[in-house]
């Protein structure tokens, strides 16, 4: 694991965007695995700037997102499809038909999850997977558990994740209780992984991810076994390393 420590969120975002930039330059038809949440928003802003400057062309890029709330349609402004459109896709020349987010409106969980796994296979796997880190060590919505889940699956969100995500909803009771998420095997099969971590509230979990034992109780700890992981953490998040 390479850990790169940056001064602050903005510096973290610029460095992460540079890595994605270089991925797109060296393989214009690459497959990006993308994440939602607060951590990658600054990275997406930097990528939009590079597109606007004429330095980056997304026309041949495919993207596959990590997760989506079960029950939300892409039109709902709390859905992860909406988030991706609003924070990245609407502002660059990516072909939206080549952007894939699990279908939250598909009530049949097996069908929704199989469809997402099939897409990942059909596009030839993920070249670069961008991740944020949950306070409990989750990546995607792979919550602490006794096993590392393999493919895309339906999860019950933990109280801590519901609590952390309620800021995007009117009230806690509006937060969906389930989500479709890529599994740990989907993530680990990405050829490169980039993790962005910011803020003092992530310091204790980042220490466990980097230096603790590899355990499904800290799902992101599995990244220690991946051959090409870069963690970009700001000073506050890296305080315990």
> Catalytic residue numbers?
67, 136, 138, 143
Nearer to ligand F6R, 29 or 163 (CB): 163
CB of 94 to ligand F6R, least distance (A): 17
Nearer to ligand F6R, 60 or 230 (CB): 230
In angstroms, the CA 203 to CA 220 distance is 14
In angstroms, the CA 128 to CA 20 distance is 8
DSSP E strands, the chain:
2-6, 31-34, 62-65, 67-69, 99-100, 128-131, 153-156, 178-181, 192-197, 229-234
Nearer to ligand F6R, 134 or 149 (CB): 134
Residues that bind ligand F6R (CB under 6 A): 35-39, 66-67, 132-134, 138-141
CB of 196 to ligand F6R, least distance (A): 8
| CB contact set of 41 (below 8 Å; sequence gap of 6+) | 13, 87
Contact call for residues 3 and 233 (beta carbons, < 8 A): yes
In angstroms, the CA 171 to CA 192 distance is 37
In angstroms, the CA 158 to CA 151 distance is 19
Residue nearest ligand F6R, Cβ-based: 132
Nearer to ligand F6R, 36 or 87 (CB): 36
CB of 68 to ligand F6R, least distance (A): 9
* Rg of the chain (C-alpha set): 17
CB of 55 to ligand F6R, least distance (A): 26
């Amino acid at each position: 694991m390479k850990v790169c420590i940056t001064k602050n969120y903005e510096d973290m975002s610029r460095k992460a965007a540079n890595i994605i930039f270089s991925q797109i330059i060296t393989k214009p038809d690459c497959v990006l695995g993308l994440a939602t949440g607060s951590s990658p928003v600054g990275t997406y802003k930097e990528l939009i700037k590079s597109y606007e400057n004429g330095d980056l062309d997304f026309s041949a890029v495919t993207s596959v997102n990590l997760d989506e709330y079960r029950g939300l349609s892409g039109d709902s402004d709390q859905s992860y499809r909406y988030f991706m459109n609003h924070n990245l896709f609407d502002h660059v020349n990516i072909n939206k038909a080549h952007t894939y987010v699990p279908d939250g409106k598909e009530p049949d969980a097996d069908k929704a999850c199989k469809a997402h796994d099939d897409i990942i296979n059909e596009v030839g796997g993920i070249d670069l997977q961008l991740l944020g880190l949950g306070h409990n060590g989750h990546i995607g919505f792979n919550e602490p558990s006794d096993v590392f889940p393999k493919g895309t699956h339906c999860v019950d969100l933990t109280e801590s994740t519901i609590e952390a995500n309620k800021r995007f909803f009117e009230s806690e009771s509006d937060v969906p209780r389930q989500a479709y998420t890529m599994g740990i095997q989907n993530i680990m099969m990405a050829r490169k992984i980039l993790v962005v971590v910011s803020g003092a509230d992530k310091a204790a979990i980042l220490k466990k991810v980097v230096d603790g034992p590899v355990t499904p109780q800290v799902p992101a700890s599995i990244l220690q076994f991946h051959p090409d992981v870069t963690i970009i953490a700001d000073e506050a998040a890296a305080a315990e390393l």
